[in-house]
């Protein structure tokens, strides 16, 4: 499968509906296990060609140009209608930080079969390849703390500058934390903030577009983060001085 064809597929994938379903919305890779298995299901009446690869964050990546310490098997395969297929992701080599998670991206590209039969003869058709893209978190053994308790350790400070009003989120934990939603409650009104993902031991600025003044210390914050299973974990915090 050529890179030019793959590039065309990736450009048109977002608007189409995937028939190859992935069990989960993210992959957590415990280093102590050495490998993880991910189940795929072809929820269609026709077979599909599937290709899988992992990249470091380049949304335009193709299988022939990626360089990650993982092996996927099988990397390219045919899925029959209404059948399952397991992907094995194996850690092979490379030195990754031992004190925090590392982020990669799993790509699953689905190419439907070419129409056949008398009804397709002399007929023009557009064939769409669909790419699903999931976060893959490589989690070293013996990390400090507990991933389920990490969101409660986030701290929030208010900021107001030429970029507008925002919350400065500090993540003191070794885990990546993703916000599904976040609101700031000021004088009985909830103001929605932008969402995003804060890296381990790092900071993230979340703009609050409709809020005109930086919230005072003690202002309530309600937010949901996404846990290892793709479910929402609701929490409440306050703006710190």
The per-residue pLDDT for 126 is 65
Strand partners, 239: 156
If one compares 180 and 66, the residue with the highest pLDDT of the two is: 180
Domains of the chain, by residue range, sit at 3-139, 150-240
Residues 15-39 pLDDT 10s: 457 899 999 999 999 999 999 999 9
Query: Is the CATH code 3.40.50.970 the one for domain 3-139?
Result: no
Confidence of residue 118 (pLDDT cuts 50, 70, 90): low
Query: Is the CATH code 2.40.50.140 the one for domain 150-240?
Result: no
Strand partners, 161: 164
The two structure tokens encoding residue 234? 């609701």
Q: Name the 3-class secondary structure at 221.
A: strand
Q: What pTM, to 2 d.p., does this model score?
A: 0.87
The two structure tokens encoding residue 212? 């005109």
pLDDT score of 76 more than 60: yes
Instruction: Please state which of the ranges 35-39, 55-59, 128-132, 198-202 shows the lowest mean pLDDT.
Output: 128-132
Confidence of residue 192 (pLDDT cuts 50, 70, 90): very high
Distance between CA atoms of 45 and 82, rounded to whole angstroms? Answer: 7
Average pLDDT over residues 166-174: 98
């Amino acid at each position: 499968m050529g890179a030019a064809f793959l590039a065309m597929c990736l450009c048109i994938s977002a608007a189409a509906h995937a028939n190859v379903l992935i069990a989960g919305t993210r992959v957590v890779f415990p280093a102590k296990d050495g490998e993880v298995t991910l189940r795929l299901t072809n929820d269609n009446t026709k077979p599909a060609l599937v290709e899988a690869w992992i990249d470091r964050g380049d949304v335009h990546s193709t299988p022939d140009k990626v360089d990650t310490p993982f092996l996927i098997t099988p990397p390219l395969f045919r899925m029959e209608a209404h059948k399952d297929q397991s992907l094995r992701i194996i850690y092979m080599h490379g030195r990754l930080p031992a004190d925090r998670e590392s982020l990669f991206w799993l790509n699953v590209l689905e190419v439907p079969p070419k129409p056949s039969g008398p009804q397709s003869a002399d007929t023009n058709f557009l064939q769409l390849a669909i790419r699903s893209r999931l976060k893959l978190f490589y989690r070293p053994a013996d990390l400090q703390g507990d991933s389920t308790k990490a969101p409660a350790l986030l701290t929030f400070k208010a900021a107001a500058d030429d970029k507008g009003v925002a919350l400065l989120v500090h993540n003191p934990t070794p885990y990546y934390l993703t916000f599904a939603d976040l609101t700031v409650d000021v004088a009985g009104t909830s103001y929605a903030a932008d969402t995003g993902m804060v890296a381990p031991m790092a900071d993230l600025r979340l703009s609050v577009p409709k809020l005109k003044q930086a919230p005072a210390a003690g202002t309530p914050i309600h937010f949901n983060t996404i846990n290892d299973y793709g479910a929402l974990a609701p929490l409440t915090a306050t703006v710190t001085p």
